[in-house]
A = this chain, B = another copy of it.
Amino acid sequence: MFYFDSDYLEGADERVLRALVESNDEQTAGYGEDEYCQKAAALIRDMTKAPEAAVHFMIGGTQANLTVIAAALKPWEGVLCADTGHINVHETGAIEATGHKVLALPGCVGKLSAEQVAEALRSHREDSTHEHMVKPNLVYISHPTEMGTLYTRPELEALSNLCRTNGLWLYLDGARLGYGLAAELSVDLPLLARCCDAFTIGGTKAGLLFGEAIVLTAIELQDCFRYAMKQRGGMLAKGRLLGVQFETLLKDGYYLEACGRANSYAQRIKGAWLAMGFPLLCDTIANQVFPILPNGIIDRLRKKYSFAHWLQVDKSHAAVRFCASCTTREEAVQTLINDIMAL
């Protein structure tokens, strides 16, 4: 069986695994106060050209999202988010469990526009009963989005300007960030650091055993963040595991190289589907592909491949998702492509 369900099917990228093995017997301070974490944080500050940023490492995306958002908001404040946003759909109400409403807006293929955020703010302010409604105070976006789409540089800048002008935080969930950065070069880490008050650099889906780096560029969000991490159960005792992995992943351009390879695998798979005349749910240029297939073909493929059911389009067709990742092997990709072309 070949798995294309998601980008977290295997363990770690071999280089990352080797670094873990090699550092295994060293003794270091716990809870992220070791030299590996310090070096990885310094590397990230360097790569993002944000020398004042605070960088922390947590295990997973839900944990990172809920910790940042709960730390940023007052109790009556809520999060603007595309209706498909991970925090709105697939985190079992983790944000609400910290007391905050997620204010979903209809996304455009997973994205929010500055215009619709502006309209939401205007509508809140002009309503004479606005004190009876949750006050929007943070914009959550993901890049790539849950639909695999990407923000452009002007779109991000427009969101950022709007948030700054209106006193909202802009937070970007980068669970799959590497794939996005490798696919759309005009959106790079320094741009994210300038546009966002906080964002994550996802490791779990890019070849780490686990780990998300949290970059807090807004000074006001930096104070006491380690208290916040500990309170939410997100401070890893053997914290250096995160530092070791992130340093290995990020140094010497390896992150973009590995993610770029996954993107090219996904694009080859996309090409095969298009060549065979199957439509896409939405076009994507990173590591996820969403062809719309007849039920019969889906059933046949499932005997040899595992992939995600995404959306039942009609009785006889569904959109499905194929993911490539940093740990996907070329052989599996080629086998899939051969089978697609032979359908």
Contact = CB atoms under 8 A, between A and B. Distances in A.
A270 interface: no
A27 B10 contact: yes
Given A30-B6, A209-B241, A224-B76, A232 B129 contact: no
A21 interface: yes
A152 interface: no
A94 to B, nearest CB: 5
B237 A204 contact: yes
Interface in A42-90: 59-67, 70-71, 74-76, 78, 89-90
Contact of A227 (B131, B204, B309): B131
A281 interface: no
A23 interface: yes
Contacts of A327: 25
Interface in A210-250: 210, 224, 226-228, 230-238, 241
A17 B10 contact: no
Given A30-B8, A75-B70, A96 B92 contact: no
A132 interface: yes
A20 interface: yes
Contacts of A135: 224, 227
Secondary structure type dominating chain A contacts: loop
A134 interface: yes
A63 B235 CA distance: 9
Interface in A20-41: 20-21, 23-31
A307 interface: no
A115 to B, nearest CB: 18
Nearest to A58: B233
A321 interface: no
B91 A231 contact: yes
A227 B98 contact: no
B93 A134 contact: yes
19 contacts: A2-B27, A5-B30, A8-B237, A9-B29, A10-B25, A10-B238, A11-B23, A12-B24, A25-B327, A59-B59, A67-B233, A76-B231, A91-B230, A94-B230, A94-B233, A96-B101, A97-B98, A209-B241, A233-B234
Interface of A: 1-3, 5-6, 8-12, 14, 17, 20-21, 23-31, 59-67, 70-71, 74-76, 78, 89-94, 96-102, 128-129, 131-135, 204-205, 209-210, 224, 226-228, 230-238, 241, 309, 327
